[in-house]
Amino acid sequence: MTVTGETERREAAEHLALTLVGAGMQRMGARALAAFLFAEKDTLTAGDLADELGVSAGSVSGAVKMVAQMGLIERIHVAGSRREHFRMRANAWTTLYSRQHSVVDDVLRAVEKGVDAVGPGRAHDRLEYMRDFYTFLLNEAPMLVERFERQRRGGPRS
């Protein structure tokens, strides 16, 4: 890659990381995720990430743990290496979505208790609307993921 191309790649990765931070992600986790997304290597070590991000190897350990817990990267064994290697999961985004799906399930259960706990009125209407919205999302989500996967494989988009 040319120096200009490398500079553009790094700037794009940093821009994505800053955007993720703006959406609520922790800064180092966002930078680590961006490094994985923009990497041409199949796997990265903590040392690779530290070099890429210009930070100490120790400072990336929490970020790697966070991104791994999100289900976006996974630890793998690399023959002949004593270092821990990580790679993006092949289905990282649907894995992340599935994990967020369980949080929405928890929210929905709590909202349903709220609907049952209040009588008619504004609070009931707001809670009922929230419940109906999340129920709709949860019912539609599996079909959206299926359509997405079919589209990615080049199948019909309907």
Mean pLDDT, range 117-143, rounded to an integer:
92
Would you tell me how many other CB atoms lie within 10 Å of the CB of residue 72? Answer: 22
- Alpha-carbon dihedral sign for residues 140, 71, 149, 154: positive
d(CA 59, CA 89): 22
Express as a percent the part of the chain with pLDDT over 90.
61
Task: Dig out the tokens for 117 from the structure.
Answer: 């706990």
**Predicted pLDDT at 1:** 64
Element (H, E) at 98: helix 92-117
All residues at 6 or more sequence positions from 67 whose CB lies less than 8 Å from its CB, including other chains: 29, 32, 33, 36, 73
Q: What are phi and psi of 88, to 5 degrees?
A: -65, 140
Express as a percent the part of the chain with pLDDT over 70.
96
44 DSSP assignment = B
**Predicted pLDDT at 158:** 57
Q: Which among 137, 141, 70 is positioned nearest to 108, based on CA atoms?
A: 137
Question: pLDDT per residue over 36-84, tens digit each?
Answer: 999 999 999 999 999 999 998 888 999 999 999 888 999 999 899 888 9
**Predicted pLDDT at 130:** 95
> Among all chains, which residue has been given the structure tokens 């070099």?
51
pLDDT band of residue 149 (cuts 50, 70, 90) is: confident
pLDDT band of residue 157 (cuts 50, 70, 90) is: low
Is residue 76 classed as helix, strand or coil in its secondary structure? Answer: strand
pLDDT greater than 70 at residue 109? yes
The beta-strand segments (E) located in 24-145 are: 73-76, 85-88
**pTM of this structure:** 0.75
> Among all chains, which residue has been given the structure tokens 């049952």?
116
pLDDT band of residue 90 (cuts 50, 70, 90) is: confident
